[in-house]
Amino acid sequence: MPADVREEFVEVGGARIRLTTGGSGEPLLLLHGTEGSQGWRRYAQALAEHFTVYLPSHPGFDGSERPGWLKTMPDLVCFYTWWMEQQGLEGARAIGFSLGGWLAAEIAATTRHAFSKLMLVDAAGIRPQEGEITDIFILSPAQITELSFHDPAQAPEYDDLYGRELSAEEREQAVQNREMAVRLTWKPYMHDPRLPYLLARVNMPVRIVWGRQDQLIPVECGELYQQAIPGAELIVIDNCGHVPQLEKPDAFVSAAMEFLP
């Protein structure tokens, strides 16, 4: 981890939340997916050259505590509006990945001043009309990893993330992350039936980024997000799976930097 990147725990509502911060400039909030934050990756460092990047771990993930009352996605939305207020991040730019994209979309639809600009990256939250969202909870971690990438060979950090044996502590944390993801997304699975209607309230610039070969959440969901959010634009990255920030970080950062400044 670079020397100017710091990790700390901040308390909100009686819960200690892991927060990694780095860079300088205007604040940029990153909201991670079901796998947890995955640490300070190459794309985060690239963004930190232009922004002060805030990467929290959601309650119940990566050692962040979960308040007893937090059991659903609406609960998580309430928690984050509180957390952003306490951290002075209301009106910041934000990027949400997968589960974090769903979270960001719900926040934007219900709290219109929460973000100044928003990027949704292969976001859950909307149910496709023709395809389906893959049920990751019946799959092994290895199967999920395989489906997350179109071509692992083009992901510069693949071996660092997945090409080694996890420690016992890392395996236990992965289990806890998965359990929290189940708690938040199981019924209804990975979507909110209200969300397509609520998204008509979104009033900030939104860019949607999707890997064309996403095998977990089909690009159809990106098209549905674009239809639901007034003025939203959709950028589809070819030869890329569910995690463009890892599989094609240069293309991802380019798409972000065209939009965020």
Instruction: Return the CATH number at 211.
Output: 3.40.50.1820
CA distances 21 to 28, 40, 47, 194, Å, are 10, 9, 12, 33
Our CA dihedral for 258, 111, 37, 235, rounded to 10 degrees, sits at: -30
In a domain, 1, yes or no: no
d(C-alpha 87, C-alpha 71), whole Å = 22
Whether 199 contacts 193, CB under 8 Å:
no
Q: What is the mean pLDDT of residues 179-194?
A: 96
Give the pLDDT confidence score for residue 2 in this predicted structure: 81
Kindly tell me if the per-residue pLDDT of 3 is higher than 80.
Answer: no
* 11-15, 30-34, 60-64: range with lowest mean pLDDT: 11-15
Q: How many domains does the chain fold into?
A: 1
Give the pLDDT confidence score for residue 246 in this predicted structure: 98
Kindly tell me if the per-residue pLDDT of 6 is higher than 80.
Answer: yes
* 6-10, 33-37, 92-96, 162-166: range with lowest mean pLDDT: 162-166
In a domain, 250, yes or no: yes
In a domain, 192, yes or no: yes
In a domain, 38, yes or no: yes
Structural domain containing residue 226: 6-259
The pLDDT tens digits for 211-233 are: 999 999 999 999 999 999 999 99
